[in-house]
Amino acid sequence: MKVFASSRLRKSGQMLIRVEYAPINDSDLLVASGLYAVQPKLPSVVGNEGAGKVFAVGDGVQNVKVGDRVVIPHGVFSWAEKVLAPAEEAIVLPPEIDPQQASMLSINPPAAALLLEEFVSLKPGDWIVQNAANSGVGRAVIVFAKQKGVRTINIVRRSELVHELKVIGADIV
C-alpha cells in the first residue's frame, strides 16, 4: 500500500480521489465473477462508478484542487479507499449536488438514454411502460422521456413512491 503524506502527487496530470460512494451495479458483479464481456487486467478491483473528494493532485493540474468533490472518471475502478485518475477527466460537483446520487451518473443515465434512443423510434406523444421505475435507470428514463415529450407509465412496488416519481415527471405511476 502506498501512503501519500502530502497533497501533491509525483505523477503529473493525475489526481488521487478518496472514494466516498461506489455503488454496486450488475455489471460490477459480472466483472467480479469473470462473466462480463470486457475484463480488466488482473490483479484489479472492480466498480464502474463513484464519487469522492480529491485528496492530492499532480504537477500541472489546474482544473481540480484538493478538497473538490468529483465524479470518478469512467474506466477508473472505484471499489477502493482511494483511486488514482487522470485529472483532465474530472467532473467537479457543485456543493448542492448530492454526492451519493452523483456517484451513479456514469452508468444509469447512459443506460436510460440508450433505452430511449436505440431500440425503437419514439416521437413526442408516444407512451412507454417500465417496471422498477424508482430505480436509478427508471428515474433517468422518466426525466429523459419527459424532455422528449414521451409519456410514461411507471410500475413500482410501494405506493409511497408515487408522489416522488410524479415530481420528476412521471405521467402515470
Which sequence positions are flagged as catalytic?
A: 36
C-alpha cell at 80: 477502493
**What are the contacts of 161-169 at 24+ separation with CB within 8 A?**
161/133, 161/134, 164/134, 165/133, 165/134, 165/139, 168/139, 168/142, 168/143, 169/142, 169/143, 169/145
CA–CA gap between residue 11 and residue 21 (Å, rounded):
25
Q: Kindly calculate the radius of gyration of the chain based on its CA atoms and give it in whole angstroms.
A: 19
C-alpha cell at 173: 405511476
SS3 150: coil
